[in-house]
Amino acid sequence: MANIKVLVAKPGLDGHDRGAKVVARALRDAGFEVIYTGIRLTPEQIAEAALQDDVQVVALSLLSGAHNTLFPKVVELLKEKGLNDVLVIGGGVIPDADIPGLKAAGIAEVFTPGTPTSKIVECINANVK
Amino acid sequence: MAFEEIKAGLAKYTADVEAKLVKNPERANLVPNRLYTPIDLGENFDYMTKLGFPGEYPYTRGVQPTMYRGRFWTMRMYAGFSTAEESNKRYRYLLANGGSGLSCAFDLPTQIGYDSTDPMAEGEVGKVGVAIDSLADMEILFDQISLDKVSTSMTINAPASVLLAMYIAVAEKQGVSADKLRGTIQNDILKEYAARGTYIFPPKPSMRLITNIFEYCSKNVPLWNTISISGYHIREAGSTASQEIAFTIADGIAYVEAAIKAGLDVDAFAGRLSFFWNAHNNVLEEVAKFRASRRVWSKVMKERFGAKKAKSMMLRVHTQTAGSMLTAQQPNNNIVRVALQTAAAVMGGTQSLHTNSKDEALALPTTESVTIALRTQQIVAYESGLADTVDPLGGSYYVEALTDKIEKEAWEYIEKIDEIGGAPEAIAKGYIQKEIQDSAYKWQMEIEKGDRIIVGVNKFTQEEEPPKNLLRVDGSVGKLQAEKIAALKARRDNAAVEAALKALEAGCADESVNLMPLILDAVRAYATEGEICGVMRKVFGEYQPHTTL
């Protein structure tokens, strides 16, 4: 089976990319093929990158508090592009109270501060066939 | 003679201890030396060269002769969220409760030169700081706060010139002249490229804006700290203590070189350069870092740049406790972490300090949690005794050895960066980013393997209820700001705005022009920040980041 391809992306204007980079490297070390977009991308740019690179997973990282707006927007745009099977996960400084709403909007799993990277690996392995 | 005795004693002690290690093993992952003695300082430890006296070269023991025996550090709480009205309330609360300076957090659109109505600002307005779109917002932000009485730090980088101009313009309206203004703009673009991300323009015009500010302020706003060369964010991005000061001082060297190249005399501006350190968890390592950084910078300024004034050689520093060390788990534990970090910053000799709040791994802090953070500083100041004597850890064998070690590692990095061609080049090549990322990854793997313990995260964990009472920024801020901008554009003299922006555009195209007066004119005419930065974007272009993994 070909490697699972993951796009690690930072939507919005937030420059805190320590977490995104650590996760990207951990996923790469776990055997996934990882593309990191860099910071300050619009949801449109992320969806387009997911389409171009033909990824199975989009992992979003955001620490600025704009997740309720930007995460669902990425999901919406992926769907518009016909990418209905892409697993979208997210992480960052995200209050527990926001998680049900994000899940309802199509974010499969939300990882908050202190999560070991192995949990993210498990989640991807369990959800991508 | 005594030195030989110590050596013999240490050898005996070591042999005795090691004979018993099988029975009484030590913990893993400890610092190299079990015990530090005068031997670690060396037989020829030269007090005057290494340490000297507080307020004297090389400033290892502090930049002021009496340090906190005269007055405490400035207790400066970083704050700002939602609208100018909301943030003004928080500022006045902090000042009424013993805060001694202001520190403004701006939202990301403000930090990146977008108006709240820009499509790029979607979802971000008022989130991580206050939304400022024009002088009108700034007037509200400082309402009932006399700018001749307070010192204000502004975390603003790429558009620092615009926000400083707004501050000067608010002061004008209060009848306060610019030469009375005290405060700091961060204005440190190099670490934005390397670690923080709120860049706008490419390096060359960015460095021009910075030297324009140095020059303008040396003549017009002489008490203003024109830059806060920041290691804080480099450390937050994952660097070690030595990397934090090394990369930051390398950035500092680049700013001084740029200003000298622009024709400024080093002693005319260097006294207004300031620094920004992180106060991390390892207390003694942090104290040593502060001390080492002062020694390195004073040597850089004296030996490399030939500075003559004492002020030019002093590394004056603001400190913030480490946000990345706060845990979302068992958030009350963060109060203890912040207290220890505060102790480190104070024993390290900081000039001002922001303490983080316990809930900041989850959201922006509530008024209650900010109050605890401020009280933490007050307890350390008034009750702990740490502030009662100058450089209380000076002479500790361990702290002196650590200070030497960090200094040595910093010099090695600075030399390496010099070889690459200076900090801007090292950033362009991704070298500094890669070093930081490697350290960040190592740290995370240590936690995941259990080699590094974080209480409540990978040891002593417990089930807990989700925290209540987190601060939520009202989702309507974006709409409110949009209404304000529309009203502003309807009432201002749009012809005056257009003329000011035209003049600014012409100035941008001519490298010999200092842009500060032109930006000030545009601000006074109530041009929005997005309009002003838009003109500069048009002429200067935008920075293309170097992304590596």
Which of B534, B410, B546, B488 is closest to B113 using CA atoms? B534
For residues B548 and B108, give the distance between their C-alpha atoms in angstroms, rounded to a whole number.
23
Per-residue pLDDT band for B204 (boundaries 50, 70, 90) equals very high
Q: Does B128 touch chain A (CB under 8 A)?
A: yes
- State mean pLDDT over B338-357: 98
Does the structural domain A5-127 have CATH classification 3.40.50.280?
A: yes
B428 with B72: CB under 8 angstroms?
A: no
Gap between the Cα atoms of A39 and A17, Å rounded:
7
Q: Is residue B350 scored above 80 in pLDDT?
A: yes
CA distance B101 to A33: 49
Q: Are B406 and B399 in contact (CB under 8 A)?
A: no
Residue B509: count other Cβ atoms within 10 Å of its Cβ. Answer: 11
Nearest residue in B to A21, CA atom: B549
Dihedral angle, C-alpha B244, B250, B255, B260, nearest 10 °: 150
Other Cβ atoms closer than 10 A to B524: 17
Q: What order of strands is seen across the sheet that includes strand A87-92?
A: A33-36, A5-9, A57-62, A87-92, A109-111
pLDDT in tens, B294-343: 999 999 999 999 999 999 999 999 999 999 999 999 999 999 999 999 99
Inter-chain touch A14–B545, beta carbons under 8 Å: no
Q: What is the pTM of this model?
A: 0.96
**Confidence grade of residue B512 (pLDDT, cut at 50, 70, 90):** very high
Element (H, E) at A87: strand A87-92
Strand partners, A60: A9, A90
ipTM value, please give it: 0.95
The candidate with the shortest Cα–Cα distance to B430, out of B411, B412, B417, B445, is B417
Going by pLDDT thresholds of 50, 70 and 90, the confidence category of residue B470 is confident
Cβ-Cβ contacts under 8 Å, B362 against chain A? 93, 95, 113
Nearest residue of B to residue A64 by CA position? B128
Chain B residues inside the 8 Å CB shell of A68: 123, 475
Res. B186 pLDDT band, cuts 50 70 90? very high
Min Cα distance A34 → chain B (Å) is 10
Task: Identify whether the C-beta of residue B501 lies closer than 8 Å to the C-beta of residue B530.
Answer: no
Q: Which pLDDT does position B100 carry in this prediction?
A: 81
Is 60 exceeded by the pLDDT of residue B226? yes
Please report, for chain A, the start and end positions of each structural domain, with discontinuous segments joined by +. Answer: 5-127
The whole-number average pLDDT for the span B281-300 is: 98
Residue of B112, B329, B473 with shortest CB distance to A114: B329
H/E segment holding residue A15: none
- Quickly state the pLDDT bin for A69 (edges 50, 70, 90): very high
> Encoding tokens for residue A5?
């391809």
Residue B89 has pLDDT above 70, yes or no: yes
Annotated domain spans of chain B: 48-449
| Cα nearest neighbour of A115 on chain B | B457
Quote the pLDDT of residue B473: 80
Residues of B in contact with A25 (CB under 8 A): 437, 441, 549
Q: Do B549 and A93 touch (CB under 8 A)?
A: no
Q: Is B470–A95 a contact, with Cβ atoms under 8 angstroms apart?
A: yes
Whether residues A114 and B454 touch (CB distance < 8 A) is answered with yes
Supply the pLDDT for residue B1: 58
Amino acid identity at B167: Y
Candidate CATH numbers 3.40.50.620, 2.60.40.1150, 3.20.20.240, 3.40.30.10; the one for domain B48-449: 3.20.20.240
